[in-house]
């Protein structure tokens, strides 16, 4: 299992466009990928569940992946969450 804490950078937080990019990246991976904030953990492969996190700019989220491509999965999701270019 690989885990990484990331600060949310997009001005709009994690919703709409960032969620679509996260889900798209997660679904390309074999690993089970989750994101959590304040004790709430959701699948990174579900746009509805990701929006329930309510993560806004400046919040810290934890990305976890478990599986064959776990390191690649965490890095791909972290790149989206920590990018201003969303």
Catalytic residues: 15
Place of tokens 């989750």: 34
Would you tell me how many other CB atoms lie within 10 Å of the CB of residue 52?
11
């Amino acid at each position: 299992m690989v885990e990484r804490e990331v600060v949310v950078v997009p001005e709009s937080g994690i919703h709409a466009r960032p969620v679509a990019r996260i889900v798209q990246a997660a679904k390309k991976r074999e690993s089970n990928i989750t994101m959590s904030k304040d004790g709430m953990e959701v699948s990174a492969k579900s746009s509805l569940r990701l929006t329930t996190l309510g993560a806004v700019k400046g919040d810290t989220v934890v990305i976890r992946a478990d599986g064959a491509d776990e390191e690649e999965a965490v890095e791909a999701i972290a790149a989206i969450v920590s990018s201003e270019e969303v």
